[in-house]
Amino acid sequence: MNPKGPEVEKLITNINGFDWISNGGLPLNRTTLISGTAGSAKTIFATQFLSEGIIKSNESGVFVTFEESPEEIRKNMRSFGWDIHKWESEGKWCFVDASPQPEIDTLETGVYDMAALLARIEFAIQKVGAVRVSMDSLGAFFSQFSDRATVRKEIFRITYALKKMEVTSIITAERTDELGSIARFGVEEFVADNVIIFRNILDEEKRRRTIEILKFRGTTHQKGEFPFTVIPGEGIIVIPLSAIELKQRSSDIRVTSGCTELDEMCNGGFYRDSIILVSGATGTGKTLIVTQFMNGGAEKNERCLLFAFEESREQLFRNATGWGVDFDTMEKEGKLKVVCEYPETMSLEDHLINIKKAIDEYKPNRVAIDSLSALERVSSLRSFREFVISITSFIKHKEVAGLFTSTTPTLLGGTSITETHISTITDLIILLRYVELYGETRRGITVLKMRGSMHDKDIREFQIDSTGIHIGKPFRNVVGILTGNPVQLSPVEMQRTAEMFRND
Amino acid sequence: MRYAFKLYVYGQTGTSIIAERNIRELIEEIRDIECSLEIIDILTSPEKSMEDKIIATPTLVRTDPQPQIKLIGDMSDTDFLKAMLGFR
């Protein structure tokens, strides 16, 4: 026997990401309160809970609706690919219609209870052999009756009966605001064992949906808010940020950056499973590094995947041709896939899911995102930080090489927000800098850090021509390139500096 | 004019017994009007309550004459009951 005693078991919901944040699903044979403001996707969750049960676990469900009519629910949920009508005819789904009937005058006179509702729920559960029950929503239930005390008592009775019948249920409730009490009508007082809160907050003019498990009595769950998104054809997808474990294997195998001189600077190339950040001002050659990175992979018969958020397909292909790289042929040979997307087309959460999906489908050996900074403008700072952490950890787990670019806000020196958030996650940071010398702009490249490997510490000058990037000699008599204040040193001064550390 | 009622009850519970007694007394009282009363016990036949979407018990549904009226409760206030059902 388990020395800790029996724990509360869980029912795997199969809702994407939710089973992770709930440490294995909803508490088995118990009722969980789902509370949220209007438009926080409660009804979608209630429907998806049953749908995923039918699709993935062959578990039937009963939907008790106090608000929308069954016809409306069938219609509204079709865009997620859930064919409720079909499931009803197959005996896997049963509605208990407790929605208001505005066409019939309903009056109260004297004492009553909700025995009929409970009898109907029990009847429906037995009819389809239900394992899951969704009730949507408590607020609509309360508004149909004037005697709140009776309704409260009856909800308690229903949840008790459901427990006895060994079904796992959820019940939705409305909140009036995002920071107030858990739900209206004080419902948390009687269905308080398990509470989940859905939020839909306006953050820096962007809508941000989050889910938080407030409590699961007698069992564990992940704490804090997790972003989620609602996608047509799929429903709710929870993005489990802390599902990031530092468990990935690490490889000693080196891969080419697509540029021989850069490989030399990195002591023989990038590690196969490293995350590389290329940072620089606009026009310093970040997209060029990406292009060469893709080309280097394709030449070794690797599969390369490029997400472009700054330039159109045509521009990218034309630029590549200008540097002697033929994206067209690479794509025809199946070595390259280019996904161009305008950052504003969707939310960052949706971008994240699309990127992950594309990686899962294409199974690349190397991935590049050009640029992370472009995605920064469509999200709040917090969402962006979460996105960066999530995508880097995802790529790391796939054990592919990932190269991201980041645009610095100033032309000379400086760091970007992107760098601040991912520099600790990256294995390799390459800086591209403008260097102003003798009244002309030149370009410098340096490898700032490289985990687990020796690397060149010099800041080298590089040129760009029709065959790509050419890295040359280090800037010897210049200081302050990284900080954006290049100053030339006179030979006398250099001599003195050199002598400072002479051991004699 | 003809009246038709359906009374949904839940087994032999207090409110159900009182409601049935109240409605039977009312029909007795207005003997000159034709009334039909069907008693449906949700405890034994829950499937019958699906069609009328019954949530609370006891519930009285006046199916004739139109429009339909639903009365929820033990119908103790007989004056109110009479007025609501259209008897003077």
Per-residue DSSP letters for A157-207?
Answer: HHHHHHHHTT-EEEEEEE-SSTTS-SSGGGGGGTS-SEEEEEEEEEETTEE
φ, ψ for residue A30, nearest 5 deg: -125, 170
Assess whether A67 carries a catalytic annotation. yes
For chain B, list the domains and their CATH numbers.
2-85 (3.40.30.10)
Q: Are the beta carbons of A294 and A366 closer than 8 angstroms? A: yes
Query: What is the model's pLDDT at position A417?
Result: 59
Give the residue from B45, B47, B50, B55 with the most A CB atoms within 10 Å of its CB, the best one to mutate: B55
Query: What is A321-378 written as a DSSP string?
Result: HHTT--HHHHHHTTSEEEEE--GGGS-HHHHHHHHHHHHHHH--SEEEEE-HHHHHTT
Most A-contacting residue of B43, B72, B79 (CB-CB within 10 A), to test interface = B72
For residue A354, count other CB atoms closer than 10 A to its CB.
16
* Dist. CA A211–CA A239, nearest whole Å: 10
**A4: in domain:** no
Which of A94, A111, A126 should one mutate to test binding to chain B, selecting the residue with the greatest count of B CBs within 10 A? Answer: A111
* Contact between chains at B69 and A105 (C-beta distance less than 8 A): yes
Question: What CA–CA distance (Å, rounded) separates A95 from A61?
Answer: 9
Q: Which pLDDT score, from 0 to 100, does residue A239 have?
A: 85
A258 shares a domain with A229: no
- Assigned domain for A490 exists: no
Look-up of token digits 């799929």: A234
Is A483 within the bounds of a domain? no
| Packed helices B78-85 and B14-29: angle between N→C axes, nearest 10 degrees | 60
Instruction: Please give the residue of chain B at the shortest CA–CA distance from A154.
Output: B56
Q: Domain check: are A232 and A274 in the same one? A: no
Are residues A222 and A286 both part of a single domain? no
From A144, A158, A116, A120, select the one nearest B60 (Cα to Cα).
A116
Q: At what angle do helices A313-322 and A286-299 cross, to 10 degrees?
A: 80
Angle formed by the axes of helices A348-362 and A381-397, nearest 10°: 10
- In a domain? residue A504: no
Q: Among A241, A268, A289, where does a domain finish?
A: A241
Q: Model confidence over A3-53: pLDDT tens digits?
A: 455 678 999 999 988 998 998 999 999 999 999 988 889 999 999 999 999
Q: What is the DSSP track for A46-75?
A: HHHHHHHHHHHH--EEEEEESSS-HHHHHH
- Same structural domain, A321 and A448: yes
Last residue within a domain, chosen from A192, A216, A241? A241
How many whole angstroms separate alpha carbon A262 and alpha carbon A289? 10
**Burial group, residue A360, by CB count within 10 angstroms (0-12, 13-18, 19+):** exposed
User: Do both A262 and A208 map to the same domain?
Assistant: no
Residues spanned by the domain of A18 = 10-241
Say yes or no: B3 contacts chain A, CB-CB below 8 A: no
Q: Are residues A273 and A325 in the same domain?
A: yes
Candidates A98, A212, A183, A192; CA nearest to A144 is A98
Last residue of a domain, one of A209, A241, A273: A241
Contacts with A143 (C-beta within 8 Å, 6 or more apart), sequence order? A100
Closest chain B residue to the Cα of A105, Cα to Cα: B69
Residue pair A381/A204 in contact by the 8 Å Cβ criterion: yes
Which residue is closest to B76 within chain A, CA to CA? A110
Q: What tens digit of pLDDT does each residue of A411-454 get?
A: 666 666 566 667 777 889 999 988 887 788 889 999 988 888 88
B39 contacts chain A (CB < 8 A): no
Instruction: State yes or no: cis peptide before A486, omega within 30 of 0.
Output: no
Question: Residue A93: inside a domain, yes or no?
Answer: yes
Q: Give the CATH number for residue A53.
A: 3.40.50.300
Q: Are residues A193 and A307 in the same domain?
A: no
Are both A267 and A381 inside the same structural domain? yes
Chain B residues close to A107, C-beta within 8 Å: 69-72, 84
**A500 within domain boundaries:** no
Q: Between A148-164 and A115-128, two packed helices, what is the crossing angle to 10 degrees?
A: 30
* Distance between CA atoms of residues A208 and A229, nearest Å: 9
Q: Which residues of chain B are within 8 Å of residue A108 when distances are taken between CB atoms? A: 71-73
Maximum alpha-carbon separation in chain A: 107
The predicted structure's pLDDT at residue A232: 86
What pLDDT is recorded for position A301?
92
Identify whether the C-beta of residue A399 lies closer than 8 Å to the C-beta of residue A249: yes
Q: B82 at the A interface (CB within 8 A)?
A: no
Same domain assignment for residues A271 and A173: no
A417 belongs to a structural domain:
yes
Q: Is residue A304 part of a domain?
A: yes
Q: Which tokens hold the place of A472?
A: 């040359």
Which candidate in A59, A122, A154, A310 is catalytic?
A310
pLDDT value, residue A503:
59
> CA-CA distance, A448 to A419, in Å (whole number)?
12
Give the number of domains in chain A. Answer: 2
Buried b (16+ CB within 10 A) or exposed e, B61-81: bbeeeeeebbbbbbbeeeebb
Residues A293, A442, single domain; the answer is yes
Q: Are residues A410 and A385 in the same domain?
A: yes
CA A49 to chain centre: 21
Q: pLDDT by residue (tens digit) across A41-97?
A: 999 999 999 999 999 999 999 999 999 999 999 999 999 999 999 999 999 999 999
The per-residue pLDDT for A339 is: 93
pLDDT at A245: 58
In one letter, which amino acid is A485?
Answer: N
Has A399 been annotated as catalytic? Answer: no
Residue B72 to residue A117, Cβ atoms within 8 A: no
The DSSP element (H or E) to which A135 belongs, if any, is: strand A130-136
- At A286 the pLDDT is 92
Instruction: Say if residue A123 is in the same domain as residue A268.
Output: no
Beta carbons of B74 and A112 less than 8 Å apart: yes
Q: Report the C-alpha gap between A215 and A196 in whole angstroms.
A: 7
Q: What does the pLDDT profile of chain B (88 residues) look like in tens digits?
A: 788 899 999 988 888 999 999 888 888 887 777 888 899 999 888 888 888 889 999 999 988 888 888 999 988 888 888 887 777 6
**Low-confidence residues of chain A: pLDDT under 70:** 1-6, 186-190, 192, 242-249, 411-421, 494, 497-498, 501-504
Q: A139: part of which helix (H) or strand (E)?
A: helix A138-143
